[in-house]
Structure formats: structure tokens, C-alpha cells
């Protein structure tokens, strides 16, 4: 349920509505920074909806009370009809421009990282991605450099001037990763690690939330809702392929999810064609498709020596191939009236 | 295994190689209409490959003997490195131009069909689609008009000048449908109806082969091989969505399959965003994605009165929305150096 | 919709109801051989249901009119609350006894077939299975012996005294296979080959309908309905594994489907653990599970020389392993108050 | 790689082998409590395997060096050919007896919990299950009572005498849950929460590891390996249904996984038919199937007032239905030469 206040509602009227929401057993949440104040009523309102609508409709300063029929509320387009924009330093995600984040799967060597960062920046990428904490299927695989990797990322950011996105895999590490990263990534395997979602939801950094390989679009939005319900509205969704019977690629890119998400939520949506295909030879076609289908951004793995990458080499593009792809993507972006 | 003949191999030498293939227990198949003659050796050659390679390499007129490691042979890009082109009347599928087939799910009324055909032609569609034999999940649903529907399609073709593609669902009907249709469609549910594949494989009409909802890309190519092994090389593949756990759309478009198919086969590939999404509101985004990812054509449902369509209304575009989509697709096509 | 007649309804009253059903545009179908006559009204009745119920309720001899909310009607337990029994020669499928059909994937050699048939009979199998027409993914794989294989099956049946079940894959062959077989099998890939379903539905032989690898339980029941709507009520369903992301076995046995089917339909249900696992080492555990979960029968591949079988060797049990399994199954059957 | 020591290898010889493993860059792990000492060499040994085998084979006290080709090592049956047994207070999981854990999805009320615990104990359950921390798809759903719930569980355990299993969903809570629980449950959504796996792996409580809904059997074993590589060998696996296209039940029980797991690992395997079906009417059939297929135990939801359960009511059995099911399961257990 959302309570839409009058345009000229006073701060006192707003406060009273919020207090009344709490008094009757729910939680108020007010969308910050928009002209018209809209207060979401969080909790299981369904059983009492008729009473609640009447009750709040009659309070001073209230323009209208609406039910949001979606299971997700703060993430719903009904609650926030305009597309959201997430700002990270001077980069904007969710506007007319398509934002590309690129970089190695895992941070391994500062010299290489710097080289890659400079190359991708020159090709038009706006964000540097790289993993310091790596969730790997096998406990005997390379698990990332941890804080040492975060420091490398931060130093390269300062030199090259690209904000960084990196994954956090444990509630214990959220503070640490927040100290270095500009965007916190929640990986696909942790999409329903609700403790972690709540933790980053109460934090200050924008969150890139990757869809789990067996998660429905609805589940992805519910996980976004976990983050938003804690206060952090800066959530970027990321389609990275789902698990299906098809085995010619590592995952199946759910391209249908793009128009579905655009209808159901105001949050920006990125696509990760590298994980979604698992094969650098397929990355270009799927990246082009994502832009054509309405993605707000892409997350692409780039490595200057894929065969020796410590993880995900086969799906990484070399910098020169990435540069060529960016030129193709620029043309597709223009064909859908956007920029890159 | 394929036997590549010398450029100046004589007809006698070719005939002798073909006879020798038969003598040792396999089946020869010669790709028609290319300058350099290449003879495919069909059958289970693996157990004897070393002997066979040596045996045929030494025959007069033979330039080289190659194994094709793919399970599919005639459909493989190793056998036919250039992309194939299928010609239907004056329409080309598989060249630089992207070919759009459009029309109603099922043929219901000749007046409406004519209207739709004229509208889609004006928007740039090159082929008229429409079902006369409908494979429906329920025996109590509308099953199509049968021959009456075929006649309507043929009359509309003659008036409007668009070749027609329509489904055949039974070996008994292949001759009948061949009499009216320009392209025979094998529906997704019949992708592994091998009796039907063989029947259309020995026929003269190009075949549009739709991928089954649970068929791997490999299985689709094996089904194409069934058709081609009977002699008919004019096969067009069609991705129309696969069955997954995701339920926000009717099927999941396997966009990854486009670059995979482009590597594995020379056959042209179309995409059917109407069935792949099941929702007209998602058709545009997925159609744009398909063109950006390299599709050679699209199959789009258009109906002038979707709520009253006898089948698949919710996924059909109205003619004016189709026209708008074609304009968008034209721009995407240009962005990937193709035409529409 | 079903019309339940009075226990003492006269033949005239029944005939009048049937004629009235036709007059208002639907198709009557009367369940044969039950004491109380129940007439199914086939067609899309939903739009007119209130009127129809009132209309027929008032006719002489009518006890009650019920809607069947399931999409399937003749296959629904609402229409036929007792479990159905299918009789094949002196074998019963669907009663208290669990019926095992066993034999080779494909018929290859009459001597071997006879040996296998004698062995499985001694172990307690009641039906001999074997393929003469084989639907194979590759056109270059062994496609079965055709009529020659059917003749071998028939001769072995006559010697050993086990009725035979064998697959039919083309409408053209239905008459031929009917001449030899006791039960016609519709394979998984043809589950939605509606032309074939209608053909066997108008025939006289019981049909073993295998679930397609991507077919929902609902789709399986709709396919059964296709057969039954043509008149043939002797349908046996068969779960044989579905396509999922899991790759440690060839398919995933949907064991949940057993209690679901038992609620939704009166038709007997068999399980094919050989195809459902693709590995003889897993067949025993899944066969035991199937009996414990309520299967009415099993379809098990047995071959006396699995490594040299022309198809599906890896999933075939040797006769001695089959004998041991039958002893285990007998104990499970008793534990669920059934016999084998 | 594993190093099998001589039966009479001295402690010094063992220590030297362990030190040498570390010296060359790997991690030794010795299976505790078996007569013949076997030391696992953990890390990425593949690149150097020939050298390593020769190197260690020549050390004093070494009987043999074997590669384990499975990706999982400590969890592999090659490493530990006998089935493992996990002891929890006086309950054994993994022996000849089939162990049933039962109880409500979430702990809500101590009186009810006590009633349920007494009822299930009387029916033969050996472990009480109940959630205090609940991972829910929606942030607005009941999230469990937390520590208050743990205290209720512990008090009920003390009164009734059943050890308790309860879920832990955050690394922060592992210590707290360890203080109360006898077995820590890792839920399906956290199966690849590697930080959590490592945390419980370094702890002292047995771990019940539930398979993720999109996790392959191989992935489940790799997650078990994460726990075991930290030292904790007391891991119980749990099949609880996978995500597929089938929608007649909440998940699809992968019954095939039972024989597969029994070949690939020595760890005990339980099945949770409540989550695997999502419908109490299907629980019985699937529970029987699981026992017949070789499960070492079951996890069944029981609630004395399912319609008012705060979570998962529709899949909970009432105590009297649970009692009847236990009697059925006892008969199936005997039919496979086990006890319950």
C-alpha cells in the first residue's frame, strides 16, 4: 500500500501519517528526493486493506491511498513510475546513456589491472569491475586476493578515474568492501542470502544485484525489495543467465527478462553477457541483443591474457576485441535512441 | 566424413567415388550447385575412419578427405563454410537482408487475412504466415480450417504477392500442403517427429524447422540433418523459445542460440518472438534483440483483432504496432550492417 | 461438463440427451461399461455453462449436471472416480497387481529376443517390450527393423506367451503395427504429435503414452484426452523422465508426478526407469521408488548383451540383474499392499 | 590426490608426509578415526600429478598414492569407501536405520512445539526440526523468532529428548545457533554461500546441507567439500527438490540423485519431501519413494494446525497423518532390509 500525499502536505502531516502507520503495526517508508511525497506502508497489509485505505484516506494532507498489487512495493513501477537513476561518483546508471562496466573476473596483478582499466576507459567503459572476494564452486580454486585486491582496485581507480564495482560475499566483509568500492556487487549465488541483502540495504553504497541462476524475475525483485526495505534505494539489477537444460552455453541469457523488468520495476537493469554465455565468442552477439532489448548497462569481462586468467578466462574478451565491440554497441544504442 | 574433390575432377571420377562409398557400405551425398564438389559420406564411419581416409584419399580426382567432428554433417559449417541461402519465389532468406514473415497464428477469415497481408506487406514483411492445421494442446480447441485455410492462403498470396509459410503436422498432409504453400513449417512439437522430417526432406519445398521447447541446439541440428539427409537442403531454422522454470513469459527466448548456431551451421536462422514471449508487449524488445544478435529473419504474429483471434491472441501485434516495430528493426539492421 | 443420468434412465432418454448435446453444438461421449451412465459433453462449454447446466438438468432421465474444472475431461478422476483398468489379453494394468513390461530397446535378433523374453517371463514380467520402429536423434543411427522386427516380436509372443508393446512413430504405420502389437506405444518425442494421437485414438489397441521430456503433467493429460476423445479409452500413461539442468543422469525422473497423476486422472500410470535415468546402475533404485510411490507398472530395458545393443545399451539390465530387481520390487509391492 | 599410508606407518612418518605436502604447496588433511591412515592432498594438484605421485610414493610409510578423479575429494567415495555415519547425541544418521526428522517449518509457539515434538517422537521420529531464522522470499513475510525461537527449541529438546536441527542463515549467527542446536542446517538458498559454509566447516556441529534448487549434484558435493575442507567431516546431504518447468508441484524431487549420490559420496543423504513437493497430499508417496531409493533419512514438516502455520502450512502434515505415514515407511524400510 502506498499513501500519496498532497503536493502541499506539511512536514507535520507527513510525520503524523508515518506515526499512524507505525501505530497500526506497519512500517512507513518514504521515497526520498521526489517532489510529491509518497509513503509506502510495508508489511502484510492484505488482510486489512479496505479498512486501511479508508483510515488513511481521511488523514490531513493525504491525496490518495493506492494498493500496489505486486509483491514487491518499493521496487514496483506502480510506486515509482519514472525509471530510477543511480549515481556513482560522476557516472549515471539508468538514464538515457548506456553504462558499461568492464574488467577482469578477478583482480590478480596491479600492473595488469591498470593496463586493462586504461584500455577499457579508452574504449568508453565508465566503471571498472574486478573481484577481490571470489565465490568459487570448489574450495580448492583461487578465492581472490581479499583486501589486498580491494587496495589494488582503489589505487587503479584513483589513477584511471573509473569508479569500481566489486563483490561482497559475507556480511562480515560489508564494511571493509564499502571502504574501497563504489558499488557493492551481490553475486548470483548470494541473491537469496537475505542476511547479506539486509546488510547492504542498511549501507550507503549502491548495490549491483545479480539474478540467481534459478531465480525467477519475481524472486529477483523480492531480493531487491529486501535491500530497499532497509533504506538503500540505489539498486541496479543484473541479468546474468539462468540455468536451463541447454548446454551449448554455460547459462541461458533470459533476454525476455528485459522487457518484463522494464514493466515491473523502475530500477535500472544491466546484463552480463560474459557469465550469461561463458564463451567470449558469444559475448558480442548477446551484448548487442541486450542493448537492443533495452538494457541500461552491460557488465563485460575483459582480460589482457585470458588463457592465464585465474578465473573465467574462456569468457573474457581481450581489450582490442572489447574496443571493437564498444563500437558496435554504440551503433545499436543510437538505433534505439540512446547513447553509449 | 567429407571427400573434397579436385577443382578439375571429372564427372567419371566423381561417379566412381560415389560408387565406392556405396560399395563399402555408406551413403554418398553431393552438395549441389557449388563450384568445388564435396561429397559427404553418410553413416557411422567412426569405427573405420583411419582406413576410410586412406582409402579415399588415394582415389583419382580426390583432393582431400576430412572428418566432420560435429554429429550433424550436411548441416555443419565445416561441410559448407559459407552461409546458405534459401530462395522462395523472389524472396531470399539467409543473405544480407533480414526477412520478416508475419501474419495471424491461424487462418480464420479470408477478408481479415487479406487485410493483414496487405498491411504487413506495406510495412516491409516479405512472407505471409498463417496456420491452417493447428497443433493444439487440447483436442477441444480450434484445430484450424485445414484445406479450406490453405486455399485462403493461396488466394491471398496471389492477390498480395507474398509467398506463404504454413505448418504441416502429419505425413499424410505433406502432399496437400505442398500444393499450396511456399514454405512448409515443422512446428516445435513435431521437431522430433522423424517420420514427418523424412517426408518433407524428400519433398521440394523449403522447410522452416522450429526448435522444440525442450530441444538442445544440437538436437535441432540433428533434426535439420534428418531433412537434409533425404535430399532437401533448403532448411531454415527457427528459435521460438525454450521451456524453463521462468514463468513471467510463456517461454524463454534462447538468444545465446543465435551466435551458437551461426558457428555450428550454415543454415539461416529465424526467431519467433511471438511464441518465445507469449505476450505482444514483449515482442518488440525481443525482435530487436534477435536482429542485433544476428538473426536472418523474424516470424511475427500480426492480427487485426487480437482479442478475438481463435488462437494466440495475447501474443499478436496489431498491424499499426507491427509497422512501428518494423521501423525500429530497420534501424537495428542498419546498425549491424544489414538491411530490412 | 458431464451429465450424470439416473440409474434407471431409459435408452431413449439417453439417446435424447445425446442428440440434444449435438443439437446445441457439442459432442457427446458416453463412458462405456459402467452401471450408471455418464455422458461427457465435449467442446468449449465454458462460455455457456450456466445455461447448459440448467438446460440439461431439466431433461428426463438426467440426475445431475456437473462441470469438470480440469482441462481434461474423459481423463479426469472427476469423470471416472475409480481407477481404470486396461486389459491386454490376460494381463491387467491398473489393478492391485503391479505389471512389469521388459525387453530390449530395439528388436535386433530373434534368437536373442526369445532368450530375453523367456528370461523376463521367468522373473515375473507380464509384457514384452521391444522397438521395431526407432525414433533416433541422428538420421545415421540404427532406425529399427520395421515390419521384420514386428514379425519377430509376434513370433516370440506366440512362443513365450507374453503380450507385446511396441512403438509406432507415423500415422502411416498405425494399421501395420496394430496387426502385430498388443499395445501401441507413443514415444516421448511424439507425445504432442496430435495426428498420431488421433489415429491411435480411433483404433482398437490400448495405447501406452509416454510423457514428453518437456511436457507438464497437464500436457500429458491433454494428450491422453486426444486419444480418448476419439473413442479409445484404453490409455496407459508413462513417466519416463523430464529434461532439467541436472546432468548426472540422462533425464530427471519426476517422482512427484505419480501422486499428482493419481489425484488428477483415473488412468493407470507406469514408470520407465531405464530412460528416466539412462544408466542401468540407477535403474533399480528408481524402479523401487516408483513402486513405493504408487506406480501401476514399470517398463524396464533388459538385454542379454548390453555393450553390443544397437541402442540404449548403457541403460539395459542383464537378465540376471533384472531377476534380482524383480525380487526386490516384489517386497516393495507387498509393503504397499500390492502384488507383483 | 590421496596418500594411503602403510598399516604400520609410524606417527613420525605420517607427520613427515604431512609436512612434505605443505612444503610443496598443498594442504594435508587426514581422515580421523579410521584404522588405515589416508592423507588427502588438497589444492590444485593436476598440473603436477605425475611428479607428485612419484615423489610421495617413495617416502617411508607410504603404501600407495592415488588420484581421486572426482572434483570433490574428502566427500568422495574413492577417499572413504564405507558410508559415513554422523552421530548426534544418541542418534545415528547414515547407518542401517532410517532417521526421520520432523517438526514445524518455523517455531511459533512453545506449547504447540512441545505438542508436535511429543507426537512425532511417539510416531518414531528421532530428531526435531524447526526454524528460528527463516529465509523468506519477501522481506515482509514472517522472518522467524530468532534467539527466542532457539530457546524454545532447546527447552522442548530437554523436555522431550529429541536432538534439534535448525537453520543458520548468517555467518554472524553461527556461534549463537551452535549454542542451541544439535545440527546446523544450511538452507537451499545458502548452498553456495561459501562464507557460511566455511564458517560451519570450522565449527563443531554436524551440518545438514540442503541442495540448492538449481544446483547440480556435483555442485552439492563441492559445497559439502567446502565444509569438510575446513575440518568438519559431519555433513549430511539433503535432496529437497529442484527447479524445473513442471508446475504441478512446487519443486521436482530428484529421486535419481539418490543412487547417484550413493555412488559418488560416502556422506549420508536425507530427503525433504515437504519442500520437494510443497503439498502435504504428495508428501507420503515421495517419502515412501525416498526410502525405497536408498535415503538414509527424511525431513518432514509436521504442524498441528497447518492452515494457521506462519510458513509452509500447505506442505505440513498433521501429527496423525504423520503417524500413519511412519507406519507405511516402516514397511518400506523393512522391504529394503533397513529399519525405521
Number of C-alpha atoms within 13 angstroms, CB side, residue A61?
A: 16
pLDDT digits (tens, 9 = 90+) for B88-120: 999 999 999 999 999 999 998 999 999 999 999
Whether C169 contacts chain B with CB within 8 A:
yes
What's the pLDDT at A311?
Answer: 79
Query: Residue C172: its chain B contacts at CB < 8 A?
Result: 171-172, 195
Residues 197-216 of chain B with CB under 8 A from chain D are 214
Mean pLDDT of A284-299: 98
- In a mutational test of the B interface, the residue from A242, A243, A278, A288 whose CB has the highest number of chain B CBs within 10 Å is A288
What's the pLDDT at A202?
Answer: 93
Instruction: Decide if B193 and C190 are in contact by the 8 Å CB cutoff.
Output: yes
pLDDT of C47 > 90? The answer is no
Instruction: Decide if C284 and D248 are in contact by the 8 Å CB cutoff.
Output: no
Mean pLDDT of C184-195: 95
pLDDT of A274 > 70? The answer is yes
Three cell numbers at A4?
500519496
Q: Read off the pLDDT band of B140 (50, 70, 90).
A: confident
pLDDT of A68 > 90? The answer is no
pLDDT digits (tens, 9 = 90+) for A105-115: 999 899 999 99
**Percentage, residues of chain A above pLDDT 70:** 99
Instruction: Decide if C254 and D246 are in contact by the 8 Å CB cutoff.
Output: yes
Q: Residues B228-259, buried b or exposed e (16+ Cβ, 10 A)?
A: bbbebbbbbbbbbbbbbbbebbbbbbbbbbbb
Which has the minimum average pLDDT: A311-315, B120-124, D216-220?
A311-315
Query: Residue B40: its chain C contacts at CB < 8 A?
Result: none
What's the pLDDT at B16?
Answer: 93
Whether D42 contacts chain A with CB within 8 A:
yes
> DSSP readout, B234-276?
-EEEEE--B--S--SSSSB-BTTHHHHHHHHB-S-EEE-HHHH
| Sheet containing strand B38-42, strands side by side | B27-30, B38-42, B2-5, B62-66
Query: Residue B288: its chain A contacts at CB < 8 A?
Result: 292-293, 336
Mean pLDDT of A123-151: 91
Chains near D with 3+ CB pairs less than 8 A apart are: A, B, C
Query: Residue A198: its chain D contacts at CB < 8 A?
Result: 139
Q: Read off the pLDDT band of D27 (50, 70, 90).
A: confident
Q: Read off the pLDDT band of C20 (50, 70, 90).
A: very high
pLDDT of B296 > 80? The answer is yes
Enclosing H/E stretch for B129: strand B127-129
The minimum CA-CA distance between B3 and chain C, rounded to whole Å, is 18
Query: Residue B213: its chain A contacts at CB < 8 A?
Result: none
Q: The complex's ipTM?
A: 0.91
> DSSP readout, D207-270?
EEEEPPTT--HHHHHHHHHHHHHTT---EEEEE--B--S--SSSSB-BTTHHHHHHHHB-S-EE
Whether D245 contacts chain B with CB within 8 A:
yes
Mean pLDDT of A122-141: 91
Q: Read off the pLDDT band of B171 (50, 70, 90).
A: very high
CA–CA gap between residue A236 and residue A269 (Å, rounded): 6
**Percentage, residues of chain C above pLDDT 70:** 99
Three cell numbers at C255?
517422482
| CB distance A178 to A206 below 8 Å | no
Whether B219 contacts chain C with CB within 8 A:
yes
pLDDT of C254 > 70? The answer is yes
pLDDT digits (tens, 9 = 90+) for A5-31: 888 899 999 999 999 999 988 888 876
Q: Read off the pLDDT band of A161 (50, 70, 90).
A: very high
Residues 254-273 of chain D with CB under 8 A from chain A are none
| CB distance B182 to B206 below 8 Å | yes
Instruction: Decide if A244 and C247 are in contact by the 8 Å CB cutoff.
Output: no
Nearest chain C residue to D261 by CA distance is C248
What's the pLDDT at B247?
Answer: 93
Query: Residue D193: its chain A contacts at CB < 8 A?
Result: 169, 189-190, 193, 196
pLDDT of A33 > 70? The answer is no
Residue A225, classed as helix, strand or coil, is: helix
Which has the minimum average pLDDT: B137-151, D103-117, D216-230?
B137-151
pLDDT digits (tens, 9 = 90+) for D50-98: 888 889 999 999 988 988 878 888 999 988 889 999 999 999 999 999 9
What's the pLDDT at D34?
Answer: 59
Helix ranges (H only) for C34-171 are: 49-57, 110-123, 147-160
Whether A249 contacts chain B with CB within 8 A:
yes
Q: Read off the pLDDT band of D331 (50, 70, 90).
A: very high
> DSSP readout, A4-58?
EEPTT--HHHHHHHHHHHHHTT-EEEE-TT-SS-EEEEES--GGGHHHHHHHHHT
Domains, chain D, ordered by start: 2-66 (3.30.70.260), 86-335 (3.20.20.70)
What's the pLDDT at D35?
Answer: 65
Strand residues in chain A grouped as ranges (E): 2-5, 27-30, 38-42, 62-66, 86-88, 91-93, 99-103, 127-129, 164-167, 183-186, 207-210, 235-239, 269-271, 297-301
Mean pLDDT of B3-9: 88
Mean pLDDT of D29-36: 68
Instruction: Decide if D138 and A169 are in contact by the 8 Å CB cutoff.
Output: no
Torsion of the alpha carbons at A229, A213, A100 and A161, rounded to the nearest 10: 70
CA–CA gap between residue C190 and residue C196 (Å, rounded): 8
Which has the minimum average pLDDT: A76-90, B143-157, B251-265, C18-32?
C18-32
Mean pLDDT of D245-266: 97
Three cell numbers at A7?
503536493
Strands C99-103 and C127-129: parallel
CA–CA gap between residue A297 and residue D53 (Å, rounded): 49
Q: Read off the pLDDT band of C35 (50, 70, 90).
A: low
What's the pLDDT at A32?
Answer: 62
The minimum CA-CA distance between C187 and chain B, rounded to whole Å, is 10
pLDDT of C188 > 90? The answer is yes
Kindly report the average pLDDT of chain C as a whole number: 93
Q: What is the largest CA-CA distance in chain B?
A: 67
> DSSP readout, C229-262?
HTT---EEEEE--B--S--SSSSB-BTTHHHHHH
Helix ranges (H only) for C58-202 are: 110-123, 147-160, 174-180, 194-201
Instruction: Decide if C244 and A247 are in contact by the 8 Å CB cutoff.
Output: no
Nearest chain B residue to A249 by CA distance is B256
Query: Residue C214: its chain A contacts at CB < 8 A?
Result: 245
Whether A339 contacts chain B with CB within 8 A:
no
How many helices (H) does chain A have, and how many strands (E)?
A: 11, 14
Q: Which of A42, A172, A196 sits opposite D140 (nearest CB)?
A: A42
Nearest chain D residue to C280 by CA distance is D259
Q: Read off the pLDDT band of C191 (50, 70, 90).
A: very high
Query: Residue D189: its chain A contacts at CB < 8 A?
Result: 192-194
pLDDT of C201 > 90? The answer is yes
Mean pLDDT of C50-71: 87
pLDDT digits (tens, 9 = 90+) for A204-229: 999 999 999 999 999 999 999 999 98
Query: Residue C321: its chain D contacts at CB < 8 A?
Result: none
**Percentage, residues of chain C above pLDDT 90:** 74
Q: What φ, ψ does residue D255 adopt, rounded to 5°?
A: -70, -30
List CB contacts of D166: < 8 A, sequence separation 6 or more. D107, D129, D130, D131, D132, D133, D149, D150, D153, D177, D180, D181, D183, D184, D185
Number of C-alpha atoms within 13 angstroms, CB side, residue B285?
A: 22
Instruction: Decide if A332 and B328 are in contact by the 8 Å CB cutoff.
Output: no
What's the pLDDT at D32?
Answer: 62
Distances (CA, A) of A245 to A174, A255, C47: 35, 16, 39
Mean pLDDT of C304-328: 91
What's the pLDDT at B34?
Answer: 60
Q: Which of A71, A172, A214 sits opposite D171 (nearest CB)?
A: A172
What's the pLDDT at C33?
Answer: 53
How many C-beta neighbours within 10 Å does residue C114 have? 15
In which residue are the cell numbers 534477435 written? B290
pLDDT of D2 > 90? The answer is no
Q: Which of B73, B135, B139 sits opposite C229 (nearest CB)?
A: B139
Establish, for the pair of chains A and D, how many residue pairs have beta carbons separated by less than 8 Å: 89
Mean pLDDT of B299-316: 88
What's the pLDDT at C249?
Answer: 96
pLDDT digits (tens, 9 = 90+) for B202-224: 999 999 999 999 999 999 999 99
Mean pLDDT of C241-268: 96
- In a mutational test of the C interface, the residue from A214, A241, A245, A252 whose CB has the highest number of chain C CBs within 10 Å is A245
Instruction: Decide if D135 and A172 are in contact by the 8 Å CB cutoff.
Output: no
What's the pLDDT at A126?
Answer: 98
Amino acid at each position: 500500500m502506498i499513501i500519496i500525499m498532497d503536493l502541499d502536505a506539511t512536514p507535520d502531516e507527513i510525520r503524523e501519517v508515518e506515526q499512524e502507520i507505525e501505530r497500526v503495526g506497519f512500517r512507513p517508508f518514504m521515497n526520498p528526493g521526489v517532489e510529491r511525497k509518497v509513503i509506502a506502508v510495508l508489511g502484510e497489509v492484505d488482510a486489512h486493506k479496505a479498512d486501511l485505505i479508508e483510515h488513511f484516506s481521511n488523514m490531513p494532507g493525504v491525496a490518495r491511498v493506492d494498493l500496489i498489487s505486486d509483491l514487491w512495493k518499493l521496487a514496483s513501477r506502480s510506486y515509482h513510475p519514472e525509471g530510477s537513476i543511480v549515481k556513482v561518483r560522476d557516472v549515471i546508471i539508468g538514464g538515457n546513456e548506456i553504462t558499461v562496466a568492464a574488467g577482469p573476473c578477478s583482480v590478480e596483478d596491479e600492473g595488469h589491472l591498470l593496463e586493462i582499466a586504461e584500455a577499457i576507459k579508452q574504449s568508453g567503459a565508465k566503471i571498472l569491475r574486478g573481484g577481490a572476494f571470489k565465490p568459487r564452486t570448489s574450495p580448492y580454486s583461487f578465492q581472490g586476493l581479499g583486501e589486498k585486491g580491494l587496495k589494488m582496485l582503489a589505487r587503479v581507480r584513483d589513477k584511471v578515474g573509473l569508479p569500481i564495482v566489486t563483490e561482497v560475499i559475507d556480511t562480515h566483509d560489508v564494511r571493509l568492501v564499502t571502504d574501497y568500492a563504489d558499488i557493492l556487487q551481490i553475486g548470483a549465488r548470494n541473491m537469496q542470502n537475505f542476511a547479506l541483502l539486509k546488510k547492504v540495504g542498511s549501507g550507503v553504497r549502491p548495490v549491483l544485484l545479480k539474478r540467481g541462476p534459478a531465480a525467477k524475475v519475481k524472486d529477483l525483485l523480492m531480493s531487491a525489495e529486501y535491500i530497499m526495505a532497509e533504506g538503500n534505494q540505489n539498486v541496479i539489477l543484473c541479468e546474468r543467465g539462468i540455468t536451463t537444460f541447454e548446454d551449448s552455453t554455460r547459462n541461458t541469457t533470459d533476454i525476455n527478462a528485459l522487457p518484463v523488468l522494464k514493466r515491473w520495476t523502475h530500477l535500472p537493469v544491466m546484463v552480463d553477457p560474459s557469465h550469461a554465455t561463458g564463451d567470449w565468442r558469444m559475448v558480442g552477439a548477446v551484448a548487442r541483443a541486450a542493448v537492443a532489448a533495452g538494457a541500461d548497462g552491460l557488465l563485460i569481462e575483459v582480460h589482457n591474457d585470458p588463457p592465464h586468467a585465474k578465473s573465467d578466462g574462456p569468457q573474457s574478451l581481450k581489450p582490442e576485441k572489447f574496443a571493437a565491440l564498444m563500437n558496435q554497441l554504440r551503433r545499436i544504442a543510437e538505433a534505439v535512441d540512446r547513447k553509449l
